[in-house]
Structure formats: structure tokens, C-alpha cells
């Protein structure tokens, strides 16, 4: 579904992944997509959010506050230490090969029942839904591309992820924000 | 050694609660390592048979665990 994504939209997804990794979260959620948008200060979405007082720093603080710090799937380092196993040493070696956090995410099953390692960070249900909705927002506006603005519309439409919560907590009215994004995107069918 | 671990050691390794918790922690660690290594082997085009041989389990066991059960037409090597 990423074929029609603009560079900014693709970058948003990449940055969302980086944010999730940096915060040591188990999945890529809507809040990380929001941070991915705000990481790119020049984008339509970041500009509009900025006008309403929500910038990168503020969003980051809100996310850190809302998301529980200790992941529930944490490995039991203390228990391993009682039998002489140094989890930190193991983690260092594993991460050197498979990347940061690869040992900290539990394996998960895909829809076919196959088991996958924690190497790749999965998208949360809400984040997936938001990205699908960004495509639908673009289609509804008769745009032939999906830009960062459509992702923000998707996040607002999804409505149940932490991104919506962060936006609402910043005192921003979702309906007003929607109107402004749509107005800003205009009627051009191609990005620009 | 962290305080908790030190305390557990001092309390005696014969305490089943401590010992069993360590076993569980180790099993979780092994499961994650195995998933990473099996995925890595598949990425490098290893067959299920080769992976099973290294892990000293049956091909069926490793296939069932990692490839999932459904789909008769799934690619198998």
C-alpha cells in the first residue's frame, strides 16, 4: 500500500519506527506516527500542528508520560543472574547482529500461524488502521498521492490511538484540525 | 550482581521459587534467541531440515512451530 506514498509520508513511517525503537516500545503505534510527522518540521502536518502549539518536544513529553515505561514482556535479568547469566552481555552480542531491541520483543505469530522473532517492530492495530485510513482519505479527496497530511487525517479518523489522545490533550479540536488540513491540501491531484 | 539477585543467592539456591523463576526466565530467553536464529537461517535460505538438524529436533517440529499450520500449498523445502 506504500506505492502512492510521497517521500514525506514514507519518511514518517521510517521515523515512526525509529521513535518506537528509541523509546523501547514493543510496537509502532499511532503516537510514533505522530512523532514521525513532527520530526519533519517543514511538512504540512507539522506546520499545522505547530500553529496549534503541538511541536516535537511537547508531543514527545506527552508520549513518554502516557506510555508505561517498563514493557510487560521484559526479560527477567535478576532471575537469570541467580544462575550466573549476564543478560546485559547476551543482549549486547545479540543486538550487534540483529539490531537494537531484537531480544526485548517477544516472538509473535502472523495471521497464518507462523512464528516471527522480535527483530522487526510490528505496527499496532491502530497504526495499521490509520495508514489504511490515510489511503481512504486521499481517495475521498480525489488525490492521487498519499502525503503526510493524509496520514494525519488517517490518525484523526482512526481516533482511538494515542496520537488522537496527544492531540486532544494539547487542546486541539479534531474537527477544526481536519478542516485546516483539507484546506491546506487543496484540490491538486498530485503532491506539491 | 544486583541487590535482588544477591538477596536471592544469599537466601539459598534451594528455594524453589528462585530456581523456578530462573528456569522460566531462561526459557523465555531461549525462545527469543531461537526465533531470531531460525528466522536468520530461513533468510539465508536454509531448509527446515537443516535447521531441525542443528537444533536436534524433527523437521516437522520446527516447521510446525515457525511456519504455521495452515496452507497446503505453502512452499516447503
Query: CA of B26, closest CA in chain A: separation in Å?
Result: 7
Give contacts of A107 with chain B, Cβ < 8 Å: 31-32, 35
Give contacts of A118 with chain B, Cβ < 8 Å: 32, 35-36
Q: Does B30 touch chain A (CB under 8 A)?
A: no
Closest CB to A81: pick one of B5, B33, B38: B5
pLDDT mean across residues, chain B? 83
**Contact between residue A91 and residue A103 where contact means Cβ atoms under 8 Å apart:** yes
pLDDT at A100 over 90: no
Handedness of CA A174, A176, A177, A178 (dihedral sign): positive
Contact B36 A77 (CB under 8 A): no
Q: What is the ipTM of this complex?
A: 0.75
C-alpha cell at A81: 543472574
**Contact between residue A148 and residue A43 where contact means Cβ atoms under 8 Å apart:** yes
Query: CA of A119, closest CA in chain B: separation in Å?
Result: 7
- Pick from A71-85, A126-140, B51-65: least confident: A71-85
Domain that holds residue A179: 7-68+120-185
Give contacts of A97 with chain B, Cβ < 8 Å: 40
pLDDT at A18 over 50: yes
Check residue A73 and give its pLDDT: 74
- CATH assignment of the domain containing A29: 1.10.1780.10
In a domain, A76, yes or no: no
The distance of Cα A55 from the centroid of its chain, to the nearest Å, equals 16
In a domain, A88, yes or no: no
From residue B48, how far is each of A72, A97, A98, B38, B76 by CA, in Å? Answer: 32, 22, 21, 9, 8
Contact B8 A76 (CB under 8 A): no
Share of chain B above pLDDT 70, in %: 71
Number of domains in chain A: 1
Query: CA of A96, closest CA in chain B: separation in Å?
Result: 13
Check residue A16 and give its pLDDT: 97
pLDDT at A4 over 60: yes
Paired residues of A116 in beta bridges: A108
Q: Does B60 touch chain A (CB under 8 A)?
A: no
pLDDT at A113 over 90: no
pLDDT at A34 over 60: yes
In a domain, A2, yes or no: no
Contact B21 A79 (CB under 8 A): yes
Check residue B7 and give its pLDDT: 56
In a domain, A46, yes or no: yes
Check residue B13 and give its pLDDT: 65
Closest CB to B32: pick one of A78, A83, A103: A103
pLDDT mean across residues, chain A? 92
Query: CA of B2, closest CA in chain A: separation in Å?
Result: 7
Average pLDDT over residues A60-65: 94
SS3 state of residue A5: strand
Q: How far apart are the first and last CA of chain A?
A: 21
Q: Where are the beta strands (DSSP E) in A65-163?
A: 108-109, 115-116
**Contact between residue A121 and residue A98 where contact means Cβ atoms under 8 Å apart:** no
Amino acid at each position: 500500500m506504500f506505492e502512492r506514498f510521497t517521500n514525506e509520508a514514507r519518511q514518517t513511517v521510517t521515523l515512526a519506527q525509529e521513535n518506537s525503537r528509541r523509546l523501547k516500545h514493543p510496537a509502532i503505534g499511532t503516537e510514533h506516527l505522530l512523532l514521525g510527522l513532527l520530526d519533519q518540521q517543514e511538512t504540512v502536518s507539522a506546520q499545522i500542528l505547530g500553529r496549534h502549539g503541538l511541536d516535537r518536544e511537547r508531543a514527545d513529553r506527552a508520549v513518554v508520560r502516557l506510555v508505561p515505561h517498563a514493557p510487560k514482556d521484559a526479560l527477567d535479568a535478576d532471575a537469570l543472574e541467580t544462575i550466573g547469566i549476564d543478560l546485559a552481555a547476551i543482549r549486547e552480542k545479540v543486538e550487534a547482529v540483529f539490531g537494537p531491541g531484537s531480544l526485548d520483543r517477544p516472538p509473535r505469530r502472523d495471521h497464518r500461524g507462523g512464528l516471527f522473532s522480535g527483530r522487526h517492530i510490528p505496527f499496532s492495530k491502530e497504526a495499521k488502521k490509520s495508514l489504511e485510513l490515510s489511503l481512504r482519505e486521499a481517495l475521498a479527496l480525489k488525490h492521487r498521492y498519499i502525503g503526510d497530511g493524509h496520514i494525519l487525517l488517517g490518525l484523526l479518523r482512526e481516533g482511538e490511538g494515542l496520537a488522537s489522545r496527544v492531540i486532544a490533550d494539547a487542546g486541539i479540536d479534531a474537527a477544526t484540525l481536519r478542516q485546516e488540513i483539507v484546506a491546506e491540501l487543496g484540490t491538486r491531484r498530485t503532491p506539491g | 550482581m544486583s541487590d535482588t539477585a544477591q538477596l536471592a543467592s544469599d537466601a539459598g539456591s534451594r528455594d524453589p521459587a528462585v530456581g523456578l523463576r530462573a528456569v522460566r526466565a531462561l526459557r523465555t530467553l531461549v525462545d527469543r534467541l531461537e526465533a531470531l536464529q531460525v528466522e536468520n537461517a530461513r533468510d539465508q535460505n536454509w531448509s527446515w531440515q537443516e535447521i531441525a538438524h542443528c537444533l536436534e529436533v524433527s523437521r516437522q517440529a520446527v516447521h510446525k512451530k515457525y511456519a504455521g499450520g495452515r496452507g497446503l500449498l505453502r512452499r516447503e523445502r
